[in-house]
Amino acid sequence: MMRRQEAIAALAERRNGAVSVAAMQAIMAWHAAGQGATDHLDALGCMGSASSLGLGIALACPDRKVMALDGDGCVLMQLGTLVTIAAEAPPNFYHFVFENGRYETSGNQLLPGFGKFDFCRMALGAGYRQALGFDDAEALRQALPRVFSSPGPTLIRLGIAPDAPVTPWPDVTMNAQISALRARLQSKMAP
């Protein structure tokens, strides 16, 4: 089992200009890794919506890779998103799910059914093109170039250890992030 920060460090290293959308406990870790300033959106106050926000961006911008940094409780809250993403099948969409079996933000309460459900099997059953699981940060880091060079939609389960919740949220509002991201995507600013 890796720590969230280790997984985040690997994703940050291999991001390579992808647009990112983060949810819950991934948000501050992603910002702390220096990834929140550009081409990024935090899904604030809408638990379960990060992957749908990413899906919309991926459909509108097929030339940009999009990574959703999701939580396990978030995916369970809107499980139908797996089916919708698979139905639209954007090849530029990569769905990372941090799995620690906890509602960490609200105080580390256990998820229902943790240990019984399997996100990779759910994603493949929904129709994702590929699903992979990693519990080791170095293995993740090594695999990411192959992941991003293969067409999505791909779900990548990241087994992480439970941790103390980080409670502050970014100073920037979702509205400001949306304006900035939209302007960049409209102006075709690279990576």
Partner 1 sequence: MTIKETLTTRPARGVDAQALLDAIRSVGVTHVLTVPDTHQRTLLALLAETDTPKLITVCTEDEAIAINAGLYIGGARPMLLIQNNGFYACLNTIKAIPLDAGVPTFMLIGEHGRDLTRPSRENAELSVRMLEPTLEIWGVPYYRLEGPEDLGNFERAWRQSQEQGGPVALLVGAPTSESARRQEE
Binding footprint of partner 1 on the chain (CB under 8 A): 21, 41, 43-46, 48-49, 52-61, 78, 80-81, 83-84, 87-88, 173-175, 178, 181-182, 185-186
How far, in Å, CA of 59 to CA of 77, rounded? 22
Residue length, the chain? 191
| Min separation Cβ 150 and partner 1, Å | 22
User: Quick one: which of 19, 28, 4 has its CA closest to 171?
Assistant: 28
Token output for 167: 């409670």
**Residue 97 burial class via C-beta count within 10 angstroms: exposed 0-12, middle 13-18, buried 19 and up:** buried
| Min separation Cβ 61 and partner 1, Å | 4
Identify which of residues 93 and 134 has a Cβ nearer to partner 1 in the complex. 93
Identify which of residues 9 and 24 has a Cβ nearer to partner 1 in the complex. 24
Identify which of residues 75 and 140 has a Cβ nearer to partner 1 in the complex. 75
Task: Answer whether the bond into residue 165 is a cis peptide, omega within 30°.
Answer: no
Identify which of residues 10 and 69 has a Cβ nearer to partner 1 in the complex. 69
Largest Cα span, the chain = 46
| Min separation Cβ 97 and partner 1, Å | 16
| Min separation Cβ 77 and partner 1, Å | 9
Strands (E) across 75-129 are located at 93-99, 102-103, 109-110
User: Quick one: which of 156, 84, 149, 74 has its CA closest to 120?
Assistant: 156
| Min separation Cβ 48 and partner 1, Å | 7
Identify which of residues 45 and 113 has a Cβ nearer to partner 1 in the complex. 45
